[in-house]
Structure 1
Amino acid sequence: MMKPQYILSLDQGTTSSRAMIFNRAGEVAGKAQKAFAQHFPEPGYVEHDAKDIWSSQVSVLAEVLAQSGIAAADIAAVGITNQRETTIVWDRKTGEPVYRAIVWQDRRTAKYCDSIRAAHGGNIRAKTGLVLDAYFSATKIRWILEHVPGARARAEAGELCFGTVDTWLVWNLTEGRTFVTDPGNAARTMLFNIHTLQWDEDLLALFDIPAAMLPQVRSSSEVYGHTSPRFTNREIPIAGIAGDQQAALFGQLCLDKGMLKNTYGTGCFLLMNTGSRPVDSQHNLLSTVAWQIGGETTYALEGGVFVGGAAIQWLRDGARMIREADEINALAASVADNGGVYFVPALAGMGAPYWDQYARGSLFGITRGTTDGHIARAVLEGIAFQVYDIVKAMEADAGHATAQLRVDGGASKSDYLMQVQSDLFAFDIVRPQITETTALGAAYLAGLAVGFWKNTDELRAQWQADKVFSPQLPPERVRHMLHYWGKAVKAARHWIDD
């Protein structure tokens, strides 16, 4: 019997679910994608229907197998990567969610975070590597237990499960037989101690969350269980789990200490591999678990921009200046420069290094001569400025300058955005041939677990650059732009009165 020739990756994102098939060379052999509904029931609230997440994911799984003509028997393993921090609570017996999934972007618990920050923020940071913020799962779980009638009593009786999206997908794929997560996803809940690599009893007590709700934490690359034949005709090992940003770091093969990547997705997430020890950030970055393989844990420094590609979606769906997302590039190219217009993409507050939940999206410098081209350019530049701020904080924490940034994600396909990014940094931006590095990272983790790839050296040989963007703008022009960006950020911060 022939050995299976492919790995299947399930990439569950904030706005769509994807399934991708990779061959031994790390090339895409099949791809399917399906968007699902976003719900905004109140200002600052962002929700998904957990059943939509599951149904969209299982439908693209079936679609990619059918379209590619690749049989389930030829899939060696399944890897899973997911939008992180998004919180799902469901009934252990029926699998029914008790409430919609509360999405990572949701701000409903911001005031609660403020109320406990002085007393508990330092301890939370020391244990979890995280800044106390509504972004993470802990306060979202607490909100569900407090606002869904009977939920707390059911949770204490062991009747409810909590999971991030990876846990929810594995639970459903195995028809409730496997209830697991990996250390990288666990590290984003604000309940996991990144030093002991255990759920933290003090934090569970602080947020009043019963330990019985929590999944088992397993490594990022091992066989957790098998898909039900209902979904894949035959059982396939589920063998890799990583949150989307950790998966992208692995997919970019940033396997050595000091290497970093930025993913330009709905948000922008910049991670630097910090090796076998967490770095205690002095510049408002997060310290997190990157992955755990074969008993060895790798850590990362992370800076997150809440609104990256989502700013382009806003230009399309909110401002309606473009019909398709990629039209922004032609619109930006219709003008010679930004015309003095600066956009702060704080549509969901500001993440690192500011951590300002009360900042709001803002446009500055508009005159009667301002056109949609200037605004389009300002939106793309606003994404690049945010990434610049994070890299500067990361360099300060790491104690050395950056020489190169590897990029991926949907918005990395914008040559204009990548060129602006290189101009701001005055170093090279490298876009790989395969920009689907999130799905690729999950595939690599699953493939390593089942021996599909022998080791990481075999993987390193696969990484190839597609295009290198080198700085072109004069330094004085860059200094001018950064000066006005700084003024714009200052004005946008604390816009909403606490």
Structure 2
Amino acid sequence: MAEHLCAVDVGTGSARAGIFDRGGTLMGRAERPIAMNRSAEGHAEHDSEDIWAAACAAVRAARDAAGIAPGDVAGISFDATCSTVFRGKDGEQISVSSDGDDRWDTIVWLDHRALAEADECTATRHEVLNYVGGVMSPEMATPKLMWVKRNLPGSWARTGRLFDLADFLTHKASGSLARSQCTLAAKWTYLAHEREGWRHDFFAAVGLADVFDHAALPARASPVGSDLGPLTRDAAAALGLTTSCRVGAGLIDAFAGALGVIGGRPGIERHLALIAGTSSCLMAMSAEPRAFAGVWGPYYGAALPDLWLSEGGQSATGALLDHVIRWHGAGGEPDAAMHRRITDRIMQLRAAEGLDLAGRLHVLPDFHGNRSPLADPHAVGVISGLTLDASFDSLCRLYWRTAVAIALGIRHVLEALNANGYGIDTLHVTGGHTRNPLLMELYADATGCTVVEPMGSDAVLLGTAMAAAAAAGLYPGLEAACAGMRQEGRARRPNEAARPRFDRDYRVFLEMHRQRRALDAIG
């Protein structure tokens, strides 16, 4: 009997695939790059066929690395960024790029072209906003659709199918037009807890009364991990698998990470998943809905059945550290070697100066808006305390204080969550930040929480493998798959001696927010 699972994770710059056994052990992993087009300022597009090809190549390589046969894989599922794919009525690619090239048919999650449209959605004060923190983000689907309809009417007229990227991939794999409850609830204003999930009056209010004529959206969403059917013959050949492999309803990448690190844990309301890479997502779950401004959700069943999920986030974290390196005169290309060089030097400087290193240098990290807890996509970053020093050490000091600011931003979100009914004291961190020792230390010391780093596997891929396991019937349901495949982690407790330093920094952090608002008011 086939008892292996395949998980595909599509991020901002690559597609990754992992092969797992039914106990959650990662047996083989591979990664392939994907293309991005920057057609205008604030615009970013993918080619969905390029993404599918990269996913297929990664799956074939991961299976080879695992040393298993195609027929050994019982189930597959996909997670992806919340990017939006435009297709024609016959499945052809539809351009969302100002250059008109149909290859670029996908608006990337980080694309902020639809800021004005997001503000219009917020101005409606419609009920659906109660489940997105009260403010519509340009990273969600509705503003992006509005922008395309207004600015690319020819593309809109040709559009017959719209997908969140994870749903596009399950469609390519299975042929099913089903959509995941995760993607629709989190990004498409679908109210999964209601008998009628779609609010047609909301779409009419923002000029999208015809969206259902262009999107091929289902009346009901499919729960994460539900069986969408077998791989098609073409998909099986492309992926190097067989048509006996079942396809599970997928999820957004951060939600997969949440499943991978806190799915199946008792006392789940004490645990928070921090999925941290280019941006950072913070996922908390509860048995009852907790709606409040500045945190997306609550979403019903967006990860686990019968649980509500609240999502906080920072729109640029790893991307912000990369930006600091590129921006500074002593910087350059922000590759892994440069990050290590800077980190090593910071460790040396701290050995001499302690936690007070660059103590008068303060950063407000909202260079790409504030997703949580202020829900202000127009927010901007601030740096206070610069001098004429342009040396490599000055870059290191700025990098260190930017990392401190990122950790203080996590503390800001945590305080909002805990003020609204959560009792979070443990952070489970997954993603690229686990490779940055400064951030991992700061997440504990600046927040006062225990930080758990997963061991032995990629937690985002693991969460997606859990969905595949449920679809394949290796477990009786998604919750059982989470419990059966969960991997333990390494815990780091906060350094109490560091608390006074970061308490002072946090007071400055909050004051900088206040002063920025005051400056904006003057302007």
TM value normalised by structure 1: 0.89
CA separation of 1:470 and 1:15: change in aligned 2, threshold 3 A:
same
How big is the shift at 1:351?
0.8
Is the Cα–Cα contact under 8 Å of residues 331 and 376 in structure 1 kept in the other structure? no
CA separation of 1:244 and 1:495: change in aligned 2, threshold 3 A:
farther
- Asked if residue 483 in structure 1 is aligned to residue 507 in structure 2, the reply is yes
Equivalent runs, 1:382-397 vs 2, <5 Å? 382-397=405-420
Cross-structure match for 1:169 = 169
Cross-structure match for 2:217 = 215
How big is the shift at 1:322?
5.8
Is the Cα–Cα contact under 8 Å of residues 251 and 464 in structure 2 kept in the other structure? yes
Is the Cα–Cα contact under 8 Å of residues 331 and 372 in structure 1 kept in the other structure? no
Q: How many residues align?
A: 484
Which region of structure 1 is more displaced relative to structure 2, 476-485 or 38-47?
A: 38-47
Which region of structure 1 is more displaced relative to structure 2, 377-386 or 356-365?
A: 356-365
CA separation of 1:233 and 1:402: change in aligned 2, threshold 3 A:
closer
Cross-structure match for 1:102 = 107
How big is the shift at 1:252?
1.1
Equivalent runs, 1:93-492 vs 2, <5 Å? 93-99=90-96, 100=104, 101-118=106-123, 120-126=124-130, 131-155=135-159, 160-174=160-174, 177-196=175-194, 198-207=197-206, 208=208, 209-212=210-213, 213-216=215-218, 217-227=221-231, 228-231=235-238, 232-235=240-243, 236-255=245-264, 256-258=267-269, 259-275=271-287, 277-282=288-293, 284-291=295-302, 296-319=305-328, 320-321=331-332, 323-325=334-336, 326-327=339-340, 328-336=342-350, 337=355, 338-339=357-358, 340-368=360-388, 371-398=394-421, 400-434=422-456, 436-454=458-476, 456=479, 459-460=482-483, 462-491=486-515
How big is the shift at 1:127?
5.7
Equivalent runs, 1:12-23 vs 2, <5 Å? 12-23=10-21
What SS class does the counterpart of residue 133 from structure 1 fall into? coil
What SS class does the counterpart of residue 335 from structure 1 fall into? helix
Q: What letter corresponds to residue 43 of structure 1 in structure 2?
A: E
2: distance between equivalents of 1:141 and 1:494? Answer: 33
2: distance between equivalents of 1:434 and 1:288? Answer: 30
What SS class does the counterpart of residue 118 from structure 2 fall into? helix
1: distance between equivalents of 2:89 and 2:307? Answer: 32
Is the Cα–Cα contact under 8 Å of residues 131 and 286 in structure 1 kept in the other structure? no
- Asked if residue 10 in structure 1 is aligned to residue 8 in structure 2, the reply is yes
- Asked if residue 91 in structure 1 is aligned to residue 98 in structure 2, the reply is no
Q: What letter corresponds to residue 215 of structure 1 in structure 2?
A: L
CA RMSD of aligned residues (A): 2.6
2: distance between equivalents of 1:473 and 1:492? Answer: 31
Q: What letter corresponds to residue 36 of structure 2 in structure 1?
A: Q
What SS class does the counterpart of residue 111 from structure 2 fall into? coil
2: distance between equivalents of 1:251 and 1:414? Answer: 20
1: distance between equivalents of 2:165 and 2:42? Answer: 21
TM value normalised by structure 2: 0.85
What SS class does the counterpart of residue 486 from structure 1 fall into? helix
How big is the shift at 1:214?
3.6
CA separation of 1:478 and 1:317: change in aligned 2, threshold 3 A:
closer
How big is the shift at 1:459?
4.2
What SS class does the counterpart of residue 402 from structure 2 fall into? helix
How big is the shift at 1:9?
0.1
Which region of structure 1 is more displaced relative to structure 2, 444-453 or 281-290?
A: 281-290
Instruction: Provide, for residues 342-376 of structure 1, a one-character-per-residue CA deviation record: whole Å limited to 9, x for no partner.
Output: 23332321111112222223322122456121012
2: distance between equivalents of 1:463 and 1:60? Answer: 23
Which region of structure 1 is more displaced relative to structure 2, 432-441 or 335-344?
A: 335-344
What SS class does the counterpart of residue 259 from structure 2 fall into? helix
Which region of structure 1 is more displaced relative to structure 2, 334-343 or 283-292?
A: 283-292
Question: Gapped runs of 5+ residues in structure 2?
Answer: 97-103
1: distance between equivalents of 2:306 and 2:301? Answer: 8
2: distance between equivalents of 1:472 and 1:322? Answer: 36
Is the Cα–Cα contact under 8 Å of residues 263 and 483 in structure 2 kept in the other structure? no
How big is the shift at 1:94?
4.0
2: distance between equivalents of 1:393 and 1:181? Answer: 31
Instruction: Provide, for residues 167-202 of structure 1, a one-character-per-residue CA deviation record: whole Å limited to 9, x for no partner.
Output: 21122223xx21122111101234312431623222
1: distance between equivalents of 2:456 and 2:72? Answer: 22
How big is the shift at 1:126?
2.9
CA separation of 1:495 and 1:69: change in aligned 2, threshold 3 A:
farther
CA separation of 1:362 and 1:300: change in aligned 2, threshold 3 A:
same
2: distance between equivalents of 1:87 and 1:4? Answer: 33
Instruction: Provide, for residues 216-245 of structure 1, a one-character-per-residue CA deviation record: whole Å limited to 9, x for no partner.
Output: 321111211222332134212112412112
Instruction: Provide, for residues 440-497 of structure 1, a one-character-per-residue CA deviation record: whole Å limited to 9, x for no partner.
Output: 1111122023232356457436431224233243432122111222234445569889
What SS class does the counterpart of residue 193 from structure 1 fall into? coil
Percent identity of equivalent pairs: 19
What SS class does the counterpart of residue 199 from structure 1 fall into? coil
How big is the shift at 1:310?
1.4
Is the Cα–Cα contact under 8 Å of residues 133 and 294 in structure 2 kept in the other structure? no
2: distance between equivalents of 1:429 and 1:438? Answer: 17
Cross-structure match for 1:67 = 65
CA separation of 1:313 and 1:48: change in aligned 2, threshold 3 A:
farther
How big is the shift at 1:136?
0.7
How big is the shift at 1:423?
1.2
CA separation of 1:59 and 1:489: change in aligned 2, threshold 3 A:
farther
Which region of structure 1 is more displaced relative to structure 2, 10-19 or 456-465?
A: 456-465
How big is the shift at 1:33?
1.0
